[in-house]
Structure formats: C-alpha cells, structure tokens
Structure 1
Amino acid sequence: MMLLENAMYIGQGIILTIELLMGGMLIGLILGSSLAICKYKGWLVAAINRYISIARGTPLILQLSFIYFAVPSALNIKFSILAAGIVTLGLNSSAYIAEILRAGIESLPKGQFEAAQTLQIPHWPLWKDIILPQVLRNIFPALINEMITLLKETALISTLGGMDLMRRAQSIAAEQFTYFTPICIAGIYYYLLILLIESLSKRIEKRGNYVKAL
C-alpha cells in the first residue's frame, strides 16, 4: 500500500516535468530556428556563435542558477521556478537545435535557393513553405533525441525546489529514510515518458513517409 501511495505521489510530478519539457522545447524550436536562419544568411554570425558556444559549453545547472538567482537580482524582477526552468531549458536547447537546423539547411541542394531567387519568391514563404518543411523532415530524429535529452534535464529543477518527479522522489527518500525505491519509481516514470515520445515520433515518421510516398 505504501509503495502504491509513493508511486502516486511521485507521479503527480509528471505535470511539472511535462510543462518544463513542452515550454523549453517550444522556446528552443522558435529561437533555434531563428538563430539557424540568421547564421545561414550571414547575420550576426559572431554573436550567434558566441551564444551557442556559451550555452553548450557551460553546465545547465549553472545556467539555471544564473537565470533564477542572478538575472532577477540584476533586473529587479522575479522568476517563478517554472518560468526559470522553461527559460533556461529553452535557451540551452536553442543552441543545440540551431546547430541541428544549420546542418539540415546546408544539406539541401543549393539549386533550391537559386531557383527561388530566380522566381523571386519572398524570403518568408521560401523558408516557411519550402525550406523548413524539408529540413524538419530530415532532422526529425535529431530533434527527437534533443527532446529526450531535454526531458531528462528537467530533473535539474529539483535543485530549486520544483516539485517534479525527481524532487518528489527525493522528498519521500528523506522522509522515509529509503532512497533506492523512490528513485527507481521516478526512473520508471522518466523511462515511460521516453518510450511515449519514441512511440509518437515513430508514428509521425511513418505518417510522413506515407504522405511523401503519395
């Protein structure tokens, strides 16, 4: 009975974990796409490279602490734990997604850009309707890997007291003086979420291949 109660209590942290994942991934996709396009077009390349280097070259927990503690003090604002987590995960993920997208863009035939220039297709329709759909299809597996990585990194929110899966498992471990079982339960939840992401991604890939074949 206690095992079931512990599992249900830890499971309540899934909501926060998913909120962090979805929010961070959304920011990462939007900002990462913008960075990749700007870099490909040759805009602010030095600044973008420095941003990507810092985001990928410093520990995520350090970035989380900076966003939650240092930024509010400097700007005289206050971040909730959820907001700080989403912003940090999004900024960090955007650096990786930007490089994934850049590689995907550069893998496309140059003739597409030349043809679009010849046909005088505006930049926004070109990227929205022609370039990005192809790139996203090609880099989809890499984006899923990034999403899985981001899911596991949401556990760092527990260092700020966010009641996610990991924090709830830690609180039970401290209360009941047993560490192994709660952590295993949290691990099972993370693994099930990853299996769900993998299953959905495979369905999307199959559907995409089917539509492409038609």
Structure 2
Amino acid sequence: MNNNKCFKYAKMTLSDNLSVIIDADEYKYVTNYYNDTEKIRVDLTDNSYLDSENLKIVYGALIKQEYVQLDEALIESKRSIGHTLGYIDYSNNSCILSELVDLKIYRSNLEDRVPFAALIKTSLQFSEEPLKEKSLFTRYSNLTCMKNILNRQFILSCAYEFSAKDITKSNWTEYINNRKVLYVFKNSKLQYQIELVLNYDLRTN
C-alpha cells in the first residue's frame, strides 16, 4: 500500500482476527518489522525538535481504533492532553515527538471518527493535500513504537495547520474557525482498505 492509491488508512487483520487501523505511511514499517526475524528487529528512535515557537492549531479527524468504542477513544484522547504524541517517520527511522497541549472535539454522525481542533507543540508541517494527512498518536514511553501503534485507541489524522505568535493555551480556541474544521473533516480522504493478514499476535510481540 502506498500514497499513490486512493486510500490513506488500512484495516490490518491480526492473527487473532482483530483488526487495527494503520496509516499508509506506517505500512512499510509494520510489514518490514514482522518480516524480519525476532532477533534482528530494530525499533524506531524517538526524536523531539520542540521549542517555545512550535505551537500550532491543527484540524483533522480523530479516528477510533477498530477494537474500541468511539466513546472510549474520546475519553482516552482527553486523557492524552498534556502528553506526548508520536508520528512515524520511517524514512529516517524515527518517531517524531510532539505535545498535545489542548484538544476540542466536535460532534459527528459517523461511528468511527469525529472532527477535532487541537493545540499542538510540534515541528511537523501539515497539509490539506489529498492523502497527505499525518497520523499522530499518544506515545507511551513504556512501549516500543510498534506496540504503541498496534495498541493505540485513536489516531489524530491531521490535515491543516494555523499558527500565530500570540497563540497561547488560554486563548487558542478564539482562533478556531469552526467552518474550516468541518470542511477539513469532510474533505479528508479517510477511506479504509483491508490490505493484509499477518500471522503474528502483533499486540503482544
């Protein structure tokens, strides 16, 4: 699977018939990791490039994991405020770290995703270009990147950014364009494709 196809996310079936959602940009990392023998598997390195000038308002879709309910994913997303987010940059063998400073969730009639606006401290750049969304997830320091990807309860699919020098945690919601949030959500390419069955218990190995 790659970005030349009209799918951004895949439902990957695990050996126990559970499915997990992965980003097209994570697909190569996951498949290569489990094609290697267990003795030579190498995990990604966490890298942070943050400073005080990295605050951005980001819009996109919060996507729940396959094996959790949407309400569970939303509760977990609120718990993640103030904590570290990860983004897989497999071309550089790294997981780029950001910080979820604050989060605003919007209502949706869909059962698997909702619109969001977030205040994120990040060095990443986000684009509305189709299939260029970046997937951020809560990065737990006690898990490898691989376990983290396969056990995460939600993905923040980020497709738009806005920044200004005077944005702070206390005033950032004043800068949110609610119509733009819903527009970005509606136009995100979030179709799913069942791509592969791997013969591993991915969530525990």
TM-score, normalised relative to structure 1:
0.26
TM-score, normalised relative to structure 2:
0.27
Between structures 1 and 2, the one with greater strand share: 2
Structure of higher CA gyration radius:
1
Between structures 1 and 2, the one with greater helix share: 1
